[in-house]
Chain A
């Protein structure tokens, strides 16, 4: 089968880091990702999935550019095929979306950890144990393969049949939307600010439904979509003024006296988290949804204003199910801006890394016409 494979290679990691620092997505060139022929993965009792579309996520881009944290080292296994936003076909022709979290039940761990037992599979404590190689999700695990290929395997618990009225573009948006459903469920009462209007930011706005949302969006296409999804939209540089006025705050230095009850950071950089800390009200919560890495922050305000900062990762099984309805109701297939065949993987990654600037949101690989797909 044909697949993009991410290998463990320290010199290539280093090269990706250097290239990625020059411009986002450039790590694809010299880095550890390569297009190759592989034997298709097989696991007894698991189902083969032939991907149709597979999205490129921000976490994938961080990995490719070598900017993701070393925190991940023990919870991924090399070499792995990236791609955790997947709609594909089972051998019987059923179209499925893969729920990629590799939790206790999937790993054959019994009894399950406390989190999985409580249904919070996204918080699974055993993502490096059991009968699978380490990997927090499909797309980061050596044993499962991933969506950036013509074949992968998935456990029955990971499979969600795609409704007939769903296009592949709708289906590939289910996984990122599930993240947003989880974030929206976490957000408490009061004003909500969403920082970042890429795929996750827009999905969060969509998942927040009728809530009053102010969103900071950098690029025109993001602004238009965020507005259409019901947010009050402004530029990142203007967000402080907008929040100040809406919350009737004053300013002390550059710090709002009040602020929003909840700030959802869908970017995950030091700047965005710091901005979130400036915008959140005393006693409020900053939700970090965009994947962060090692950052340097001034936490004095967090301490003085008794602000909570909370990570928001993935989703539960029930939230994944709910994401289908959100995709349908909010027409999130419109976020899929461009698709590429596997052999144009460098272009695809570059496009995904520059999505906002190039008027795009979600960029995905389109495997439907790959010849190897039929052979495997």
Chain B
């Protein structure tokens, strides 16, 4: 049966309560009559034989010779792949990266290539653990390469293993992983969850150093990316593409392999999360009640562990290989086929329920800075055309927002929250006054390189990610969050959605238009 596309529902008296994600829990909320709810598309049909599709893509690439023609004995081959931040939630085994990497390695072996390195392209993210690497590439690949030091995490702070390749025509320095830069062929294996992923961003960001990343991970770029999901209006995209040009001119030969996934996001017993409420069966309703009641009585640590163990039944909808830009054009079209939902006009008040996970808290804690980034950085930017909420409008998001941090993964976040945000929430001021000292802090550098910590500058990037929204919005209200943590973020806490809507009228006036982003599963609003 064909999937049902995403659509906009107008709430009336007969509309059942709307599901809001709320961290490791959910809320059912009655939206006022006349509100709009934007529903994502149902899952696209998956590829019937993913392994055959991968092989086909490698043998029939776009804008490039087939992969076997690029593989020669004695050559230096590097396979870089997306890190633990993708996909969300992590997918059931076998991960698509495993499928693709195994296919590439089979061809390399047939061609007699024996100098092969595999690199997790994590930029300034935390290093992947052995378990996470095994999950991504599979045990066979891990056991064949990791023990010999041929499968490892990229280190953006290792001066001996970075190569400076030059500057873009706008003076942006391009510095990436030396092994990748000096290989005869760099194969990049991507999971393109949203349209912002992939393309030159894979290599120019994923394998880059802080020296290079700071040229686009800054307030100015973020404020001029409207949105990140729209390549034609994203300065982040443009900067990565300029850097890609430097890679190309420097002789870095990239064979890009991009995959797309469908919206099949939540397994049983959480599959009701991807159904429209009026489609809920008696069993779904029972599941919702059982899950909700159980979660209410579950300690937060256990709850987190339950949610973090969710493995999505995502299935591959496309795989394309070859020249970076040609491949990415096809990929983007496929992503939009799954995620784009036409929406007519902006709203005064945008509501959203934030789930338990974002790209930076896999197996970790969704700390308040990540709450801000997920709401104002990611979900706010899930638009093409115009922002869903009008300029000066109000964003209401639902999340517990605990004042809690993972001490191993997010050490610099703790200091950012306690020291920087206690002083100012203005992204420009934060960037000017504090970024350098965090970015060059030897302790954070040490933890990033040897432990499992995000780079010292990473919380700044999270804050910048929301800079466009901060500039655009008239107010942000968090429903059900820890009031102290919410205030530290510069937002207003509310106990209930009703209170939040009442508070919003102070900013947008009486009887505002209200739109709810029913996400995830992911959608991108095409606002006209």
Contacts and interface: CB of A to CB of B under 8 A. Distances in A.
A55 B235 CA distance: 63
A323 B419 CA distance: 33
B interface: dominant SS: helix
A251 interface: yes
Contact of B419 (A234, A249, A250, A251): A234
A234 B415 CA distance: 11
Nearest to A233: B422
Nearest to A223: B422
Contact of B415 (A235, A241, A251): A241
Interface string A179-198: 00000000000000000000
A249 B418 contact: no
A238 B421 CA distance: 13
Interface in A207-260: 234-235, 238, 241-242, 244-245, 248-251
Contacts of B418: 234-235, 238, 241
A2 to B, nearest CB: 46
A245 B441 CA distance: 7
Nearest to A248: B442
Interface in B437-454: 437-438, 441-443, 446
A176 to B, nearest CB: 28
Contacts of B45: none
B446 A241 contact: no
Interface residues of A, number: 11
A235 B422 CA distance: 11
Nearest to A238: B418
Contacts of B437: 245
Nearest to B418: A238
Contact-residue bracket for chain B: 10 to 19
A245 B442 contact: no
A248 B419 contact: no
B443 A244 contact: yes
B163 interface: no
A245 B437 CA distance: 8
B28 to A, nearest CB: 37
A280 to B, nearest CB: 18
A234 B446 CA distance: 25
B414 interface: yes
A248 B436 CA distance: 12
B126 to A, nearest CB: 18
Contacts, number: 26
Contact of B414 (A241, A248, A249, A251): A241
Contact of A250 (B414, B415, B438, B442): B442
Contacts of A248: 441-443
A244 B442 CA distance: 10
Contacts of B442: 248, 250
A242 B419 contact: yes
Interface in B411-470: 414-415, 418-419, 422, 437-438, 441-443, 446
A248 B419 CA distance: 15
A193 to B, nearest CB: 14
Nearest to A241: B415
Most A CB within 10 A of own CB, among B414, B419, B442 = B419
A241 B422 CA distance: 14
Nearest to A246: B437
Interface string B87-115: 00000000000000000000000000000
A235 B403 CA distance: 15
Interface string A243-287: 011001111000000000000000000000000000000000000
A189 to B, nearest CB: 22
B419 A245 contact: yes
A325 to B, nearest CB: 31
A238 B442 CA distance: 19
Contacts of B443: 244, 248-251
Contacts of B446: 250
A162 B438 CA distance: 49
A235 B414 CA distance: 13
A284 to B, nearest CB: 19
Contacts of A244: 443
A244 B437 CA distance: 12
Interface of A: 234-235, 238, 241-242, 244-245, 248-251
23 contacts: A234-B418, A234-B419, A234-B422, A235-B418, A238-B418, A238-B419, A241-B414, A241-B415, A241-B418, A241-B419, A242-B415, A242-B419, A244-B443, A245-B415, A245-B419, A245-B437, A245-B441, A248-B443, A249-B443, A250-B442, A250-B443, A250-B446, A251-B443
The 10 A-B pairs with the shortest beta carbon distances in the complex, nearest first, are A250-B443, A241-B415, A238-B418, A242-B419, A250-B442, A245-B415, A250-B446, A248-B442, A251-B443, A245-B441
Given A238-B418, A249-B443, 11 more contacts: A234-B418, A234-B422, A241-B414, A241-B415, A242-B415, A245-B437, A248-B442, A248-B443, A250-B443, A250-B446, A251-B443
